[in-house]
């Protein structure tokens, strides 16, 4: 989303479509090609993100929007998780609750004084996302949960995301760095570039991962995810990177196409239709 279809401020407000974005979605829709907009942002629910994009002029239905919370639901359901401690807001907790997963605040277990025994207060996982309200008390609660056996999940481990004013710092990587440093636990990513995230998108679209085109602006996210799923990787330069972003990357890790922006991709698609 950010840097590929639109750019906004540091909290995804004031989104403005990038050149060709509105037309690209219309082109896909007119041909019945299924698509998803997958953002690593978790400060809103998927439906809320879709509504904001529609307000900005991008025709994205609710069911065409995904976030790390969407793929987390798939991953947690598959693993049989029932209770999850969430370091984040409604953008994370809403989709989990809608899926029947009990959401535990990052202070409730510590206050209950029952951690360490895997008793009634234990949680199956800790999920970290956009959480600028993070405090030492939240860190203590998350570490206690991990020490009691909970698995640690991060919505995103990329340090930045693209805004109209340049790159902005994410929160989940910084928070998880503290938790892993203290506990020594392993970390699983629910958003991009996780292969599980790509598989969740693939299942939503009803298309095998190897038949997908993955388009994005972040060299740490979309291109690596596409390669992991043997999908077609397309990089654009309208977000975090410029034309030299992949010059020092091994050929096998580069995008299959490195374009100026979504407008250039649209031109290629239209030209391809004219070929016999």
pLDDT, tens only, 182-197: 999 999 999 999 999 9
Write down the architecture of domain 6-67+193-273 according to CATH.
3-Layer(aba) Sandwich (3.40)
- Rounded to whole angstroms, the Cα distance separating 120 from 239 reads 46
SS3 69: helix
Render pLDDT for 98-116 as a digit per residue (tens, 0 to 9).
999 999 999 855 544 544 4
Superfamily for the 68-189 domain: HAD superfamily/HAD-like (3.40.50.1000)
Q: Is the dihedral of CA 144, 147, 149, 151 positive or negative?
A: positive
**% of the chain residues with pLDDT over 90:** 82
Q: Give the pLDDT mean for 60-84.
A: 97
Grade residue 10 by pLDDT with cuts at 50, 70 and 90: low
Q: Give the pLDDT mean for 158-165.
A: 78
Q: Where in the chain is the domain with CATH 3.40.50.1000?
A: 6-67+193-273, 68-189
- Preceding amide of 193 cis, omega within 30: yes
Structure tokens of 116?
């360490």
């Amino acid at each position: 989303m950010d840097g590929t279809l639109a750019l906004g401020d540091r909290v995804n407000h004031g989104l403005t479509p990038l050149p060709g974005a509105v037309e690209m979605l219309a082109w896909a829709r007119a041909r019945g090609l299924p698509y998803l907009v997958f953002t690593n942002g978790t400060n809103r629910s998927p439906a809320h993100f879709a509504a904001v994009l529609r307000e900005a002029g991008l025709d994205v239905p609710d069911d065409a929007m995904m976030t790390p919370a969407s793929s987390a639901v798939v991953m947690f359901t598959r693993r049989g998780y029932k209770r999850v401690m969430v370091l984040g807001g409604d953008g994370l907790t809403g989709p989990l609750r809608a899926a029947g997963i009990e959401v535990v605040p990052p202070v409730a277990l510590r206050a209950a004084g029952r951690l360490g025994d895997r008793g009634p207060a234990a949680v199956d996982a800790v999920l970290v996302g956009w959480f600028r309200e993070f405090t030492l008390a939240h860190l203590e609660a998350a570490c206690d949960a991990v020490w009691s056996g909970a698995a640690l999940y991060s919505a995103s481990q990329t340090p930045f995301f693209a805004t109209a004013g340049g790159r902005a710092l994410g929160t989940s990587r910084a928070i998880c760095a503290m938790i892993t440093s203290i506990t020594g636990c392993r970390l699983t990513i629910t958003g991009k570039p996780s292969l599980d995230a790509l598989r969740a998108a693939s299942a939503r679209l009803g298309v095998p991962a190897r038949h997908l085109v993955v388009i994005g602006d972040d060299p740490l996210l979309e291109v690596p995810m596409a390669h992991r799923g043997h999908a077609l990787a397309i990089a654009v330069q309208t977000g975090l990177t410029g034309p030299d972003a992949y010059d020092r990357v091994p050929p096998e890790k580069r995008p299959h196409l490195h374009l100026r922006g979504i407008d250039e991709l649209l031109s290629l698609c239209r030209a391809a239709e004219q070929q016999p």
